[in-house]
Structure 1
Amino acid sequence: MATSGSKVVIYAALAGNLLIAATKFGASFYTGSSAMLSEAIHSLVDSGNQGLLLYGIKRSSRPADDKHPFGYGMELYFWAFVVAILIFAVGAGVSIYEGVLKIVEPHPISNPIVNYVVLGAAIVFEGVAWSLALKEFAATKGRRGWLETVRASKDPTLFTVLFEDSAAMAGLIVALVGIALSQALDMPWLDGAASVAIGFILAGTAALLAYECKGLLIGEAADDRLTDTVARLVRNERGVESLNEMRSMHLGPADVLLALSLDFRDGLDIGQVETTIFRLEKRIKSQFPEVRRVFIEAQSKGDHRRMIQD
């Protein structure tokens, strides 16, 4: 399931987006700004998305049962993918459509000062939510680069909220520039152009989110640090001759399934093999609490090689 820190980030983003969406809708209806309407829709979609992420966290935390023996952890990945689809279909689609209409039939913005005040306040609110998301995400980064951290992350709630807030900040700046230029140059169509640009920002964000969530949905292996350490633990186990094969998969942000094929030393009786398996599993889980299930197969190296070849 997601961490408590990621929940705080989602709640902060949800509260900010609901407040901002209501203000933007009021400003867009009052002034007739296409870019402001796109931003209002953007904030409303973001609010719904954060609600879906919270729903996904709750659903993924359910215990395993007979129909889902490995639990519901991957349901969080599904809802994160749904979020990506909504950003693309609703946020990007409506923004581009509204912008094209304004470009085809431009009309001046009335009372633009209202838009400036609302956008300025929105930048402040979004900036607070964005800084919280960035701080939470940076805590998981370590020495890795930002893109590398996104690729390695198994908690979609963190990078989804960060991407959404980053897109929101970019969209606010584009809307502010578009409205200002349309007023300063007396070119109302620039307001529509800003709306189209916001749509493309959302489309790019959605595509990146969908790509990352797809990898999690179809099953990603545990990171190299975990698998390398497990391999070392196996090699150091006195009852094990060799590690034939290791497979791992994330069933959730903090739920790893681990399968090992081991060649045990000749001469061990069944009781000694069982003791060795217990000792090894205990060591793995004590060092990596996210490893919830370990399946160990006893198989000679030769038999394992022949099975692969067959």
Structure 2
Amino acid sequence: MSANGGTKAIVAALLANTGIAVTKFVAFLLTASSSMLAESIHSVADAGNQGLLLLGGRRAKRAATPQHPFGYGRERYIYAFIVSIVLFSVGGLFALYEAYHKWSHTEGITSWHWVPVVVLVSAIIMEVFSFRTAIKESNLIRGNQSWVKFVRRAKAPELPVVLLEDLGALVGLVFALFGVGMTLITGNGRWDALGTAMIGVLLVAIAIILAIETKSLLLGEGAESHEVAAIEKAVADGPEFERIIHMKTLYLGPEELMVAAKVGVPACESAEDLARGINAVEARIRAAVPTARVIYLEPDIYSVTAERVGAGSAAQTAGPGAEPGKAVGRPGS
């Protein structure tokens, strides 16, 4: 992900949500509309979430320590997960509670009838600009992926979070406008409560999606298939190694991929030649996949016989005291 692009989208959303929250609160104080209160809390939660994302991005830049030798890149995932919790509790559950309260104690909008409509229409316009910025920044890295696949596969959580929040905000504003509009037309406050309930259900659904996707990142995701293919090609493009015996990858943070592989090497005259070959392959891997910043390559002797028994390397099947290369013949035998 472009870190600058993610930050730009977050800041745009933060400014929009802060301004929207203020105007919504003023509208609620004038009209006592539950939809306006739910939307006010929603905007406050969104603004707080953008603050959390900025904080997570800042803390993730801390240098590695002996206690955390791979750095703090995953802090961005942790703060994105916290965002889903805030959206679920502060946004969604509060809106559902307010809808229940309003349904049980029905009140129409008796004064300042035009205020909520003007505020909601203005908020929709501001959210459109914020959403447009998030879409523009996402398109720079989305490629040919569908939007659903982009949200599910993105290793950097900020842009998917902002996209879903902005989408939820826009749809929620439409729900609020529906509830307020029907209340003004019919004089029945239960329309306002219904709009509030729709906002609550929407926010809970978005929070659950964010939590599921962020949980996967927290557990640890490997490289995408095209990245694995690029790494394999980088290894095969030179004479240093015969093949990859097995390989594992893991994203330590949104922009830091770890590659650990056992590789089959041909016979070489010295450890210096072997080290030089490993360095050359590492350079090709980093050129092919720039996020592959932590690379561990373990040289071994590959054997077809060992591969048949599931070991892959001669060293794993050679008996005590046997020389790995002689236990099962030369590599490829």
TM-score (norm 2): 0.90
**Aligned with 2:141: secondary structure?**
coil
CA positional deviation for 1:234: 1.2
CA positional deviation for 1:108: 0.8
Aligned amino acid, residue 58 of structure 1: R
Which stretch shows the higher mean deviation, 61-70 or 73-82? 61-70
Q: Does 1:254 align with 2:259?
A: no
Equivalents in 2 of 1:18, 1:64: separation in Å? 34
Equivalents in 1 of 2:143, 2:8: separation in Å? 21
Equivalents in 1 of 2:281, 2:228: separation in Å? 14
Which stretch shows the higher mean deviation, 224-233 or 27-36? 224-233
Aligned amino acid, residue 227 of structure 1: V
**Aligned with 1:103: secondary structure?**
helix
Equivalents in 1 of 2:268, 2:119: separation in Å? 77
CA positional deviation for 1:269: 2.6
Equivalents in 1 of 2:180, 2:269: separation in Å? 78
CA positional deviation for 1:31: 0.2
The residue number in structure 1 matching 2:175 is: 174
CA positional deviation for 1:148: 1.1
Gaps of 5+ in 2: 318-333
The residue number in structure 2 matching 1:243 is: 244
CA positional deviation for 1:2: 6.1
Task: Tell me how many residue pairs correspond in the alignment.
Answer: 310
Aligned amino acid, residue 117 of structure 1: V
1:122-161 mapped onto 2 (5 Å cutoff): 122-161=123-162
Equivalents in 2 of 1:307, 1:196: separation in Å? 58
Contact 2:240–2:281 (CA under 8 A) maintained in structure 1? no
Equivalents in 2 of 1:200, 1:285: separation in Å? 45
For residues 138-188 of structure 1, the C-alpha deviation after alignment (integer angstroms, 9 at most, x for no partner) is 222211211111122111000000100000000000000111112212221
CA positional deviation for 1:198: 0.1
Structure 1 residues 145, 268: CA separation in 2 closer, same or farther (over 3 Å shift)?
farther
Q: Does 1:306 align with 2:311?
A: yes
Equivalents in 1 of 2:43, 2:302: separation in Å? 57
The residue number in structure 1 matching 2:224 is: 223
Contact 2:251–2:258 (CA under 8 A) maintained in structure 1? yes
**Aligned with 2:142: secondary structure?**
coil
The residue number in structure 2 matching 1:293 is: 294
Equivalents in 2 of 1:270, 1:239: separation in Å? 13
**Aligned with 1:251: secondary structure?**
strand
Aligned amino acid, residue 119 of structure 2: V
For residues 35-79 of structure 1, the C-alpha deviation after alignment (integer angstroms, 9 at most, x for no partner) is 000000000000000000000000001111111110100010000
Contact 1:255–1:291 (CA under 8 A) maintained in structure 2? yes
CA positional deviation for 1:9: 0.7
**Aligned with 2:223: secondary structure?**
coil
Equivalents in 1 of 2:144, 2:199: separation in Å? 32
Gaps of 5+ in 1: none
The residue number in structure 1 matching 2:275 is: 274
Equivalents in 1 of 2:292, 2:242: separation in Å? 23
For residues 225-268 of structure 1, the C-alpha deviation after alignment (integer angstroms, 9 at most, x for no partner) is 21101101212221212111111111111111111110101244
The residue number in structure 1 matching 2:329 is: none
Aligned amino acid, residue 297 of structure 1: E
Equivalents in 1 of 2:95, 2:242: separation in Å? 62
Structure 1 residues 117, 93: CA separation in 2 closer, same or farther (over 3 Å shift)?
same
Identity %: 35
Contact 1:182–1:188 (CA under 8 A) maintained in structure 2? yes
TM-score (norm 1): 0.96
Aligned amino acid, residue 289 of structure 1: P
Q: Larger relative contact order (C-alpha < 8 A, sep ≥ 6)?
A: 1
The residue number in structure 1 matching 2:92 is: 92
Contact 1:2–1:57 (CA under 8 A) maintained in structure 2? no
